């Protein structure tokens, strides 16, 4: 879905047949200036998305962005200024802020994890645990926070998960068998990654030719053992049970990637407001 289509649907969801409050109170000819102001410090993401919301609502409005995506912002910073007709500005306010606050929240949460592992070579990566319809934007926000993107969908990589293995076990196949089967059917551009929960599975997957291993919910000492066992032969990704309190210890084990679902599915929105004045 294009960004414009996504925004149009979001506006339609909120405004529906019409903004009854604005229709009742605000003259069509009324003009206003709106300033989007940060009420919480963090990392900005989505300023151009918010600008697009206002410009779709009022094609004649004038927008000046004061801060750029990826910048650190502090309380009181003016992020953007919109000048135009008051009615569509009021009608678009919540949709614009919803996008901007959500994406900035994701960028800010990502930045916290990136800062926590600073000085190590590990990359903080996202997951597919995103809000339906918002994946491209949320993964963009992760990048603005200094993180990296994992798969965008089921189409751009092979990741053999526990439920795949559960089905295959019913057919007499193990972890190594799954890797070999996937490699026999994949196109040459795809890597094969497999979720493992034990050192025995680590051995099986490496021997079968896996390109990457997802170390799922392993304790730090077990991750260290997996790193030693892999000896640089495969890419290692740690995931599950990782938070800001222990991410540094996981990073210091020597894994290549740490995937954090919480940076998208649980990031709190960053507080912002639209301050409007008549002109």
**221 & 159 share domain:** yes
Is 129 designated active site? yes
At 253, which CATH number? Answer: 3.20.20.70
pLDDT at 1: 81
CATH number at residue 86: 3.90.1170.20
Active site residue 13: no
What pLDDT is recorded for position 71? 99
Catalytic residue, candidates 33, 129, 143, 186: 129
For the record, the structure tokens of 50 come out as 């918010």
Check whether residue 271 and residue 191 sit in a common domain: no
Tell me which of 94, 112, 151, 224 is the catalytic residue: 94
Indicate the burial class of 20 (C-beta count within 10 angstroms; 0-12, 13-18, 19 or more). exposed
Residues 102 and 130 placed together within one structural domain of the fold: no
Q: How many domains does the chain have?
A: 2
Q: Within this chain, do residues 150 and 102 fall inside the same structural domain, yes or no?
A: no
Are residues 133 and 206 located together in one domain of the fold?
Answer: yes
- The closest of 268, 236, 238, 263 to 250, measured between CA atoms, is 238
Task: Say whether both 85 and 161 belong to one domain.
Answer: no
Q: What is the pLDDT along the chain (279 residues), one digit of tens a residue?
A: 899 999 999 999 999 999 999 999 999 999 999 999 999 999 999 999 999 999 999 999 999 999 999 999 999 999 999 999 999 999 999 999 999 999 999 999 999 999 999 999 999 999 999 999 999 999 999 999 999 999 999 999 999 999 999 999 999 999 999 999 999 999 999 999 999 999 999 999 999 999 999 999 999 999 999 999 999 999 999 999 999 999 999 999 999 999 999 999 999 999 999 999 999
State the catalytic residue, choosing from 69, 193, 195, 256: 195
The single residue of 93, 109, 216, 256 carrying the catalytic annotation is 216
Other C-beta atoms within 10 Å of 273: how many?
Answer: 14
Tokens of 79: 């992020």
Together in a domain, 107 and 174: no
Do 274 and 61 contact (CB within 8 A), yes or no? no
Q: Do 94 and 127 lie in a common domain?
A: no
**84 and 175 fall within a common domain:** no
Are the C-beta atoms of residues 113 and 238 closer than 8 Å to each other?
no
Residues 53 and 151 in one domain: no
Residues 154 and 210 in one domain: yes
Q: Is 195 a catalytic residue?
A: yes
* Same domain for 271 and 252: no
**In angstroms, how far is CA 17 from the centroid of its own chain?**
32
Residue 193 Rama label (left phi>0; alpha psi -120 to 50; beta): beta
Q: Which domain holds residue 141?
A: 116-265
């Amino acid at each position: 879905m294009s960004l414009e289509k996504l925004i149009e649907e979001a506006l339609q969801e909120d405004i529906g047949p019409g903004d009854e409050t604005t229709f009742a109170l605000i003259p069509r000819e009324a003009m206003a200036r709106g300033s989007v102001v940060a009420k919480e410090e963090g990392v900005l993401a989505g300023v151009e998305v918010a600008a697009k919301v206002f410009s779709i609502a009022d094609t004649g409005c004038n927008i000046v962005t004061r801060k750029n995506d990826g910048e650190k912002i502090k309380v009181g910073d003016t992020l953007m200024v919109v000048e135009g007709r008051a009615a569509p500005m009021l009608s678009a306010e919540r949709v614009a802020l919803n996008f901007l606050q959500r994406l900035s929240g994701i960028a800010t949460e990502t930045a916290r994890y990136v800062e926590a592992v600073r000085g190590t070579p590990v990359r903080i990566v996202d997951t597919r645990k995103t809000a339906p319809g918002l994946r491209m934007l949320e993964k963009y926000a992760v990048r603005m926070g200094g993180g990296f993107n994992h798969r965008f969908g089921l189409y751009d990589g092979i990741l053999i998960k526990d439920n795949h293995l559960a089905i295959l076990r019913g057919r007499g196949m193990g972890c190594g068998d799954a890797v070999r089967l996937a490699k026999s059917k994949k196109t040459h551009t795809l890597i094969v990654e497999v979720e493992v929960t034990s050192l025995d599975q680590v051995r099986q997957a490496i021997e079968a030719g896996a390109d990457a291993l997802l170390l799922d919910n392993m304790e730090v000492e077990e991750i260290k053992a997996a790193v030693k066992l892999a000896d640089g032969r495969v890419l290692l990704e740690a995931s599950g049970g990782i938070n800001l309190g222990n991410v540094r210890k996981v990073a210091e084990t020597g894994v290549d990637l740490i995937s954090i679902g919480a940076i998208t599915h649980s990031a709190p929105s960053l507080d912002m407001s639209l301050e409007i004045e008549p002109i």
